[in-house]
Structure 1
Amino acid sequence: MTEQSPRAMPRKSDVRTVMLSSYFGTTIEYYDFLIYTAAAALVFGKIFFGPVDSGTGTILAFATLLAGYLARPLGGVLFGMLGDKYGRRRILLVTLGITGAATGLIGVLPTHSTIGVWAPILLVTIRVVQGLAVGGDWGGSVSISVETAPGERRGFVASFVNMGAPSGSVLASAMLALFGLMPEDDFLAWGWRIPFLIGTVLTLIGLAIRMRMIESPLFAQLQASGEAGQKAAAPLRSVLTRHWRAVLICIFGTLSASANAGLLTSYGLTLATTDGGHSRSLALTALSVGAILQVALIPLCSHLSDRIGRRRVLMAGSALGLVAAFPVFWMISAGSPVLLFAGYLLGLAIVQAAAYGPVAAFISEMFDTRHRYTGSSLAYQVGGTLGGGVIPLIAVALADQHGFLPVALLTAGGFLLGLLVIPFAREGTRRDLHDGVDTSASAASAPGVPAGPVGSAAPARQSTE
């Protein structure tokens, strides 16, 4: 890696490399994570939990999904503290490597018919390790992105991190759709393993790309001043004492995006293939089309947030999600291929792009450089655990008896919560990340950006100096 001056403005090529590295690395991590999510909905309930009925098997499979989500906040805190002390770049290499290794192990894991009760035990263990690594990756990716980007383009640059989630979903769904064309017995016997093993190959490519990233200029500045290790000695305690309000706002203001994505990529597949009567391949294709459109819309919504503010875009996404929750799940379950695709286009593409695209910049701008990795990771991963892990598990349990109505209500409730909480966030769009101001301080409102009750951002210098 080329030596960089801690106060030097990153070159455009450095910014592009960070964007590519964050995007591709996050894509691979979410491919690995979402391969598991899709397999939990379609396969694991049948092969890892022994002789149980299909409903019980599905619930048990989603319980292992929850185990991975529960590990994510712990991973976010653990790797966040390391990243705030030793740097973003090296920790991002570690988290990607662990995720890829865990995915490969799942791909060769014996099933219940071979090793009995050890199959689900090992599955949960590997899933937890994978969750730890995924939990530690997002905060580092958004930190290095916003800290490298020009001030007026932070939302757009950071959006490439969030583009990795639907891109990984596309890859995962395409792989499962392709191998899902196999005869059912062959797919359950060995076909489902191939996408997991391919994930290990993709990880090696991602590691090669991430090796080219520069370290965050803002962290390099702290490191050169000797403050990085000293000030990050207890970053979690500092986050919980000085930034607790920002953490709560980020958790409850953005968990709706995790819930929406988690339900559509997991329960939505089950709903489409059972109530809707669609084939597994058609359901995965519809999910992939929605995710592809989401990839295209995320940078547009994030660029818009650079112009009018993060809160305005996020609130618009929450309002649309609140209105669309019931129609989306009804369309997926209606039995019509046209409505199936329309449901995924509305819920997974349009709603999700607005409610999720600006989240990376929105959360990371709430914390100062000394605590950004830890604070962003904690807030995002706790929200992701509640939205993407707890809510889908509750929804599946309720849907087994009451259909998709409670699922739609839970989804709408998440978006309503976002509408109520986001207005209390400080607007960070014009905040100068070099000024050292943290979320506990108030600042003047930027021109053209609405001020929030907690305070708003200081005017930004348009240089990355």
Structure 2
Amino acid sequence: MTTTSMQPAAADKSHMRRVLFSSYLGSVVEFYDFLLYGIAASLVFAHIFFANMDPVVGTIASFGTLAAGYFSRPLGGIIFGHFGDKLGRKSMLVITMTLMGGASTLIGLLPTYDQIGSMAPILLVVLRLIQGVAVGGEWGGAALMSLEHASAKNRGLAASVANMGGPSGALLATLSMTAFSTLPKEDFLNWGWRVPFLFSAVLLLVGLFVRLRVSESPLFAAEKASAASKEKTGSPLVVVLRRYPKNVALATLGGSAAFLLQGLLATFAITLAVQSGADRTAVLLVHACATGLHIVTIPAFAILSDRIGRRPVMIGGAIAGALLAYPIFQMLGSGNLILVLLAFLIGNPLIQASMYGPMSAFISEMFGTGARYTGASLGYQLAATLGAGLAPLSAAGLLALGGGKDPVFVSLMVSAVCVISAVAIYLTRESFRSELGKEPTVPARAAAHIQ
């Protein structure tokens, strides 16, 4: 693989706004669908798809289907990363959005266990796997379309719009599910939960309309137009594994803590708060309040990383997560709605956002243009799988280990992962002033630790 030394000129303002809006809206649609599933797994699926099981076992099984979507995310990153690095970012983003919208709409139409027996959870898992493949390919393209259109001094902010789609989609998903959770329990479980999934079809049409109106990444176009790039370089995945294995490892470990908190606060925390005595609808509303603030703090921390660097911002967040994990989960398990709100406010808009805001640029800047979609997607999605994919399932098991009420072991898990992420981020090279066209490297200190 070769690289080009050109640095992208900033797109004209109107087109740049369209690019950013496309990346943001596309991520909103993708994460609305993906995270809506998490809320439904917390509140609904154990009752209708695993109705033949003990309630505790049913909850664990429900979170297991949630994890399946995370395990398929790296596969989506590899598949769409390959074609995104070969054919372009834009076309892959249209496909991933269509896959996600279609799978989510079908989930809303699925018959229950009482209607078709064991085929119900099997079909649910299949559709969840398709969701995972779709969102696995979405993030890399959305982040790179913004990053590679942006000027050097605003890359962190531009790339963060893809991550802003996460809490925005979560907020939309939470509000839509909250509206129907006010129904009588029987109506909610029979049909109310389905409406937010069926709404995915409407979001898909809007997202595709916007996404089809943006141009291809200028850095990708320049890479493919250069004479040197026409040489046979092989698969982007092979290039990533040969040239950037340490970067992938550091991206995976460095991003794990942010995803662990994201996964726990979007799913397990809701279950914990409700089981501890807090009202279900009230918990969803306070979660929505924190998520709304989260949308604002993600770009704020990204802007800070454009000024002082990615590493200090993300390491600060990881250290804060390690220190505050215990009080956060004690508040979530208190049954007191004010303490639950405080836990969500500290956990998402402050700690998680400080790691998540700079993450798109942090990971993307680790790879050269010709393999950036594949490399960044692989690192990001492995971090998501390792962090968020196993989080609710692991937390449910650790909560049971603590007697079913005390989340102390969950807190210890969060603290340990935050420390691991802080160390991995420290081992990377600061990249906020780097030139995207130049070959990225890993510091000698990291090479010594990853052998």
* TM superposition score normalised by structure 1: 0.92
- Could you tell me how far 1:397 is from its partner in structure 2? 1.3
1:252 alignment counterpart: 253
1:333 alignment counterpart: 333
Greater shift in the superposed pair: 230-239 or 67-76 = 230-239
1:63-462 to 2 correspondences below 5 Å:
63-225=64-226, 233-275=234-276, 277-402=277-402, 403-434=406-437, 436-439=438-441, 453=445
Deviation sequence 1:250-271 (CA, Å, 0-9, x none): 0001110110010111110100
Deviation sequence 1:170-200 (CA, Å, 0-9, x none): 0011011110000000000000000000112
Deviation sequence 1:16-45 (CA, Å, 0-9, x none): 111111111101110000110000010001
Taking a change above 3 Å as real, the CA distance of residues 79 and 346 of structure 1, as seen in their structure-2 partners, is same
2:48 alignment counterpart: 47
- Could you tell me how far 1:231 is from its partner in structure 2? 5.3
CA contact (8 A) 1:391 1:410 kept: no
CA contact (8 A) 2:366 2:440 kept: yes
1:20 alignment counterpart: 21
Taking a change above 3 Å as real, the CA distance of residues 151 and 172 of structure 1, as seen in their structure-2 partners, is same
- Could you tell me how far 1:391 is from its partner in structure 2? 2.9
SS across alignment from 2:423: helix
Q: Which amino acid is the alignment partner of residue 306 of structure 1?
A: D
SS across alignment from 1:376: helix
CA contact (8 A) 2:365 2:440 kept: no
Taking a change above 3 Å as real, the CA distance of residues 230 and 104 of structure 1, as seen in their structure-2 partners, is farther
CA contact (8 A) 2:9 2:149 kept: no
- Could you tell me how far 1:225 is from its partner in structure 2? 2.2
SS across alignment from 2:439: coil
Give aligned pairs, total: 438
Q: Which amino acid is the alignment partner of residue 416 of structure 1?
A: V
SS across alignment from 2:199: helix
How far apart, CA to CA, are the structure 2 residues paired with 1:173 and 1:57?
Answer: 22
Taking a change above 3 Å as real, the CA distance of residues 316 and 227 of structure 1, as seen in their structure-2 partners, is same
Deviation sequence 1:205-225 (CA, Å, 0-9, x none): 111111122110000101222
Identity %: 44
How far apart, CA to CA, are the structure 1 residues paired with 2:416 and 2:408?
Answer: 12
Greater shift in the superposed pair: 372-381 or 335-344 = 335-344
- Could you tell me how far 1:227 is from its partner in structure 2? 5.6
- Could you tell me how far 1:392 is from its partner in structure 2? 2.4
Q: Which amino acid is the alignment partner of residue 413 of structure 1?
A: A
Deviation sequence 1:291-324 (CA, Å, 0-9, x none): 1111111111100000000001000111111111
How far apart, CA to CA, are the structure 1 residues paired with 2:237 and 2:440?
Answer: 15
How far apart, CA to CA, are the structure 2 residues paired with 1:381 and 1:55?
Answer: 29
- Could you tell me how far 1:438 is from its partner in structure 2? 3.0
How far apart, CA to CA, are the structure 2 residues paired with 1:286 and 1:7?
Answer: 41
- Could you tell me how far 1:9 is from its partner in structure 2? 4.9
SS across alignment from 2:422: helix
Unaligned stretches of 5+ residues in structure 2:
1-6
CA contact (8 A) 2:10 2:150 kept: no
SS across alignment from 2:72: helix
How far apart, CA to CA, are the structure 1 residues paired with 2:166 and 2:233?
Answer: 29
Taking a change above 3 Å as real, the CA distance of residues 427 and 123 of structure 1, as seen in their structure-2 partners, is same
CA contact (8 A) 1:423 1:453 kept: no
How far apart, CA to CA, are the structure 2 residues paired with 1:302 and 1:51?
Answer: 46
CA contact (8 A) 2:150 2:158 kept: yes
SS across alignment from 2:34: helix
* TM superposition score normalised by structure 2: 0.94
How far apart, CA to CA, are the structure 1 residues paired with 2:325 and 2:244?
Answer: 32
CA contact (8 A) 1:104 1:199 kept: yes
Q: Which amino acid is the alignment partner of residue 241 of structure 2?
A: L
RMSD between superposed Cα atoms in Å:
1.6
CA contact (8 A) 2:258 2:352 kept: yes
Q: Which amino acid is the alignment partner of residue 309 of structure 1?
A: G
- Could you tell me how far 1:99 is from its partner in structure 2? 0.3
Greater shift in the superposed pair: 320-329 or 361-370 = 320-329
CA contact (8 A) 1:219 1:228 kept: no
How far apart, CA to CA, are the structure 1 residues paired with 2:280 and 2:263?
Answer: 18
Deviation sequence 1:120-143 (CA, Å, 0-9, x none): 000000110111010011111111
- Could you tell me how far 1:354 is from its partner in structure 2? 0.3
